[in-house]
Amino acid sequence: MDPQAFIRLSIGSLGLRCTGIELSTGKSGVHRFSSSYVCEIRLRGFPVQTSSVPLITSSEVIPDTQNIASSFYLEESDLKALLAPGCFYNSNACLEIAVFSGRKGSSCGVSIKRQQIGIFKMQVGPEWGQGKPLILFNGWIGIGKNKQENGKLGAELHLKVKLDPDPRFVFQFEDVTTLSPQIVQLQGSIKQPIFSCKFSKDRVSHIDPLSTYWSDSMDISDFETERRERKGWKVKIHDLSGSAVAAAFITTPFVPSSGCDWVARSNPGAWLIVRPDVGRSESWQPWGKLEAWRERGLRDSVCCRFHLLSEAQEGGELLMSEIHINAEKGGEFFIDTEKHMRNAAASPVPSPQSSGDFGALSPVVGGFVMCCRVQGEGKRGKPLVQLALRHVTCVEDAAIFMALAAAVDLSIEACRPFRRKIRRGKQHSM
């Protein structure tokens, strides 16, 4: 399997210091910097990312160089788009970091307006596409209109901007998951078959090695049962020789919660993701658990929460991702240990001896693990999966992520609202 070239643009080591500068607030006089600072990190074609910026009060302090505030992942087409001139301007795109004092919001009904302190800009250049580790900037730089006034520096921003190669394998299901499609690896215009996917929702066979994991009475063909609960769904991933190398199956049925007709957070459905147990024929080893439920709102979403099952972690479960996917339009489920640690403000515990355990799960070794793009409910989507090269030591490592991607895709359908009443003459659909 040959990976595709990706690069990671990371922005970190943020810090702000202010010397000899005050911000005017109009007629009320002078207002010194508040204790709250945020920045917006912008790159054309990508969603704006935000991060807090710590205030540095000592000239001798250097912000943590290992702290990553934001990351962008770019493939070849992204670089071409960034280097292409815009419609109304000739220059290439820029990385922009705008720093603000205060936060958006209101207090006691009075709107609070943020004040921009300054902005850092860096133009995208051809060196971005060289595929080599490169530090684009590292240090302090003056920002804003008051970069220098009366010989005194104003606001200064510390940051480290770095490029790192981040090759990935790209896979796609050739059809919807329920039709047991082939899974191919994409390399440019070339499609190479790698796996096959076998979906079923039949009664469990007594000779199936997975039958020890789920309950009896799974006659999903029964119409009334299917209308009240969704269970017994199973996906097996086979390699080209026909051997099963990974699987996912529902362990907690998707059922409507009390007083409503949808799967609620209080009682989520769950999948168990398993891989073959090394050295034991027809035996499976639990690898991860995916829970899913529906969040109601102006735009409904399906929340997918994934735990890695690890003996090294107290309690045996390690939360790796919790993502909301638009129920109608679909979206992207991803595992990124770097983003997870920023959101959770906690460091995962490593489980380094088994492949598929995401290495040391640190920002350097971990970072991006996988992402899976799925369509919204009722749409005939073909899941697209990207998987970081550093997390694949063999074909079986990739297979387990295909099983997880299939479970995410099927969860969109499993979380569709249950129909209380069926109109006569109308065929029920999942």
Compute the distance between CA of residue 123 and CA of residue 93 in angstroms, rounded to an integer.
6
User: Please, are residues 157 and 141 in contact by the beta-carbon 8 Å criterion?
Assistant: yes
Residue 96 identity (one-letter amino acid): E
pLDDT tens readout for residues 135-186? 999 999 999 765 555 444 578 999 999 999 999 999 999 999 999 999 999 9
* Average pLDDT of the segment spanning 371-390: 92
Task: Give the integer Cα–Cα distance in Å for 103 and 15.
Answer: 17
**Which residues of 55-213 form beta strands (DSSP E)?**
68-75, 94-101, 105-107, 110-112, 115-123, 134-142, 148-149, 152-153, 155-165, 168-173, 182-187, 190-200
pLDDT at residue 300 is higher than 60: yes
CATH class of 8-164: mainly beta
Please count the other Cβ atoms lying within 10 Å of the Cβ belonging to residue 304: 26
Name the 3-class secondary structure at 246: strand
Q: What is the pLDDT of residue 183?
A: 97
Residue 324 has pLDDT above 60, yes or no: yes
Q: Specify the 3-state DSSP secondary structure of 338.
A: helix
List, in sequence order, the alpha helices (H) in 256-299: none
Q: Are 211 and 236 in contact (CB under 8 A)?
A: no
Question: Which ranges constitute the DSSP H helices of 237-382?
Answer: 337-344
Confidence of residue 304 (pLDDT cuts 50, 70, 90): very high
Model pLDDT, residue 203: 53
Average of pLDDT values for 237-242?
Answer: 95
Residue whose C-alpha is closest to residue 173's, from 198, 197, 199: 197
- Specify the pLDDT at position 423: 45
What is the bridge-based pairing of β-strands 284-295 and 269-276? Answer: antiparallel
Domain coordinates of the chain in residue numbers?
8-164, 168-414
Threshold 0.75, pTM exceeds: yes
Work out the pLDDT band at 314, boundaries 50, 70, 90.
Answer: low
Supply angle C-alpha 233, 237, 243, rounded to 5. 125
- pLDDT tens-digit map of 34-78: 457 999 999 999 999 999 999 888 777 888 888 899 999 999 999
Which of 315, 303, 9, 56 lies closest to 165, judged by CA? 9
Higher pLDDT, 398 or 113: 398
Instruction: Tell me: pLDDT of 212 over 80.
Output: no
- Determine the Cα–Cα distance for residues 216 and 229; give it in Å rounded to an integer: 14
As a whole number, the mean pLDDT across the chain is 80
pLDDT at 15 over 60: yes
The pLDDT assigned to 105 comes to 52
The CA R_g of the chain, rounded to the nearest whole Å, is 25
Token look-up 């770095």 returns 162
